[in-house]
Amino acid sequence: MTIKEARQNAYRQLSEAWEKQKKTAGPYAQKPDFFLDIDVILQELLQVERSFLLAHNETKLKQKDIKRFFALIQKRSRGLPIAYIVGKKEFYGLSFFVSPHVLIPKPDTEILVEKALELAREKSRKIGSREVQAKSRCLRVLDLCTGSGCIALSFAQEFYKTKENSPPLELFMSDISLAALRLAKKNTKQLFPRSLKKQKNSDKLQIKIVRSNLFQNIKGSFDFILTNPPYVPTRLTDELLLDGRSEPRLALDGGKDGLRLIRQIAKDAKNYLKKDGWILIEAGEYHAKEVAQILRERGFSEVAILQDLSGQERVIFGQH
Model confidence pLDDT, tens digit, residues 123-169: 887 766 545 555 557 899 999 999 999 999 999 999 877 655 678 88
User: Do the Cβ atoms of 145 and 152 come closer than 8 Å?
Assistant: no
Grouping H, G, I as helix, E, B as strand and the rest as coil, residue 85 is: helix
Beta-bridge partner residues of 278: 224, 319
Q: pLDDT value at position 199?
A: 46
Please report the beta strands in 47-149, taking only residues with DSSP state E, as ranges in sequence order.
88-91, 94-97, 139-144
Beta-bridge partner residues of 95: 90
Q: What is the DSSP string of 116-136?
A: HHHHHHHHHHHHTSTTS-GGG
If we measure between CA atoms, which residue out of 35, 142, 102, 136 comes closest to residue 252? 102
User: 0.75 cut: is pTM over it?
Assistant: yes
Q: Beta-carbon neighbour count of residue 130 at 10 Å?
A: 6
Distance CA 263, CA 53 (A): 49
CA distances from 10 to 42, 71, 73, 297 (A): 11, 10, 7, 53
Check residue 246 and give left, alpha or beta (phi > 0: left; psi -120 to 50: alpha).
left
Give the chain's residues under pLDDT 70.
23-29, 127-136, 162-165, 195-203, 244
Domains of the chain: 3-79 (1.10.8), 107-319 (3.40.50.150)
User: Do the Cβ atoms of 275 and 223 come closer than 8 Å?
Assistant: no
- Cα-Cα end-to-end distance for the chain: 62
Beta-bridge partner residues of 253: 232
User: Do the Cβ atoms of 315 and 281 come closer than 8 Å?
Assistant: yes
Q: Beta-carbon neighbour count of residue 249 at 10 Å?
A: 13
AA identity, residue 319: Q
Model confidence pLDDT, tens digit, residues 222-234: 999 999 999 999 9
CA distances from 107 to 65, 74, 78, 134, 244 (A): 31, 26, 24, 37, 21
Q: What is the DSSP string of 256-289?
A: TTS-HHHHHHHHHHTTSEEEEEEEEEE--TTTHH
Which helix H or strand E contains 320, and what residues bound it? none
User: Do the Cβ atoms of 140 and 223 come closer than 8 Å?
Assistant: yes
